[in-house]
Structure formats: C-alpha cells, structure tokens
Amino acid sequence: MKTNRDLRLTVTLRLLDGEGQRRFGPGVAALLEEVREKRSLRAAAGSMGMAYSKAWRIVRDAEEALGRKLLDSTIGGRNGGGAVLTPEAEALLEAYRALRGEVGAYAQQRFQERFRDL
Amino acid sequence: MKTNRDLRLTVTLRLLDGEGQRRFGPGVAALLEEVREKRSLRAAAGSMGMAYSKAWRIVRDAEEALGRKLLDSTIGGRNGGGAVLTPEAEALLEAYRALRGEVGAYAQQRFQERFRDL
C-alpha cells in the first residue's frame, strides 16, 4: 500500500475527564516542558505563541483535573519571579512521555503489520 | 493518583503525509462509516453536521494520499444516486479499526501500570 511508503502513523494520547473535556495531552505536556526550560509560564507561553491567559488557564484546568499543583511560583530573580515544575508535574510528564514512547513503538509495529498488504 | 479514578485515556491514530498534513484518522473513518450506512456522501455529511463540500474534500484528499478510490458513485434509485465504499475503503477501515482496537487495549494496560503510583 502507498501508505507504508509515503504516510506515517502518529499516536496522540490524551486524558479526558468525565465530561469528555481534554485535561492532559500533547499541548499541556509541551507547555510544561517549556516552563521547565524557561522557568517562567509567561516566557513559555510567549515562546509557543500562546497568550499568557490561555497558558495559565490550561495549567489551572490540568491542576484541577489532576488534583495536584503542577507549577510552583518563584519569587524575585532577574526576571522578577517565575515558575518551576512541582515534583508531581515532573513525575506526570515522565509517566506521559514513557507511555507515549511505548505505545508509539507498539503502534508503529502493528501498523506495519496491518497495513502492509493493503 | 486521581487520574486513575476520574480521568480516562484516549488514543488517536492518524496518518500524516510527508508535509505533516493529516490524511486519514478518526474524522475520515467516521465519515466513511456514515457513507456506508447512508449510501450517500451528501446524506452522511448532513447527518454529521458537515458541509457537503467539506466532506467531498476530505474524501478526495484521503484518496489522493492513499492512491486509491474510496467511494464509488451509484446512479439512480429513490434519492437520485449516492455512494458506496470501494473494497479498498472497506479494507482500509477494517485495518484502521483493528489497529485502533489493539493499540487502544495496549495503551490502557500500560496507562494503568504507569499512572497507578503517581
């Protein structure tokens, strides 16, 4: 099948709440990774072309759904305060990345098998 | 972790082309299943609240990316013509559904394992 040569499979993992609302997925994960890098939610939002208010809302919604704090505010410093990931956020990111890695690898293998003879 | 009780994992599988454009995924699959049900692309689009022009474009883009016809036009009948899935579309849908099923089952099992102790 042409698929095997020219198309590639992507796998997206998301956590939904009871109402089907997205609470954690690639977007939140990327935002948290950017906060870790920049040590600031505002800087992270800016580098992703996202409004600070939206970034703040995404983090707040995820915190509420997960029942835990994801960011700790830091005070002072050259940029007048910022944010770092909580240990719980680090553990969550690590679990999500590991899950994505193993599910992705399994999916690619099954994809080759299932689509090879189409 | 609260996740295990209140949040659920969803897995989305998509085929992307060389430019990263989405060519096949949950949307096209649902549209094709609806065409099979209604035997008409126009009726399928309508029942999904989608403009006919958009449905037509989705099918055309997928056909182009996959290098095969997905719909056969039918002529006449009570509704003045319609569409049925080609055998290739049926095989593709079947492979996609099977892949989604097995990757989903694996992901749920790994999710329980990875997130249980968070």
DSSP string across B14-49? EEE-TTS-EEESHHHHHHHHHHHHHS-HHHHHHHTT
Q: Does A103 touch chain B (CB under 8 A)?
A: yes
To the nearest whole angstrom, how far is the Cα of B93 from the nearest Cα of chain A? 11
C-alpha span between B107 and A76 (Å, rounded): 42
CATH of residue A108's domain is: 1.10.10.10
The more confident residue out of B99 and B7 is B99
Q: Tell the burial category of A71 from Cβ atoms under 10 Å away from its Cβ (0-12, 13-18, 19+).
A: buried
Judge contact between A31 and A49, C-beta under 8 A. Answer: no
Under an 8 A CB cutoff, do B2 and A106 touch? no
What three-state secondary structure class fits B79?
A: coil
What three-state secondary structure class fits B11?
A: strand
Enclosing domain of residue B111: 2-115
Counted domains in chain B: 1
Structure tokens at A23: 């609470």
What's the confidence (pLDDT) of residue A6?
Answer: 75
To the nearest whole angstrom, how far is the Cα of A49 from the nearest Cα of chain B? 20
Give me the helix-helix angle, A52-66 and A26-38, nearest 10°.
Answer: 110
Q: What is the pLDDT of residues B44-94, one digit of tens each?
A: 999 999 999 999 999 998 999 888 999 998 876 555 568 999 999 999 999
Chain A contact probe: residue of B99, B108, B109 with most A CBs at under 10 A: B99
Chain A contact probe: residue of B2, B4, B5, B15 with most A CBs at under 10 A: B15
What's the confidence (pLDDT) of residue B76?
Answer: 62
Query: What is the ipTM metric for this complex?
Result: 0.85
Residue B2 has pLDDT above 80, yes or no: no
Task: For chain A, list residues with pLDDT below 50.
Answer: 3-4
What's the confidence (pLDDT) of residue A42?
Answer: 92
For B110, nearest residue in chain A (alpha carbons): A99
To the nearest whole angstrom, how far is the Cα of A35 from the nearest Cα of chain B? 21
Lowest model confidence (mean pLDDT) among A80-84, B63-67, B104-108, B114-118: A80-84
Stretch 35-64 of chain A: residues touching chain B, C-beta under 8 Å: none
To the nearest whole angstrom, how far is the Cα of B76 from the nearest Cα of chain A? 31
Residue A25 DSSP label: S
Residue A89 CB partners (closer than 8 Å, separation 6+): A32, A68, A69, A70, A71
| Model pTM score | 0.86
Q: What is the DSSP string of chain A?
A: -HHHHH-EEEEEEEEE-TTS-EEESHHHHHHHHHHHHHS-HHHHHHHTT--HHHHHHHHHHHHHHHTS--EEEE--TTTT-EEEE-HHHHHHHHHHHHHHHHHHHHHHHHHHHHHTT-
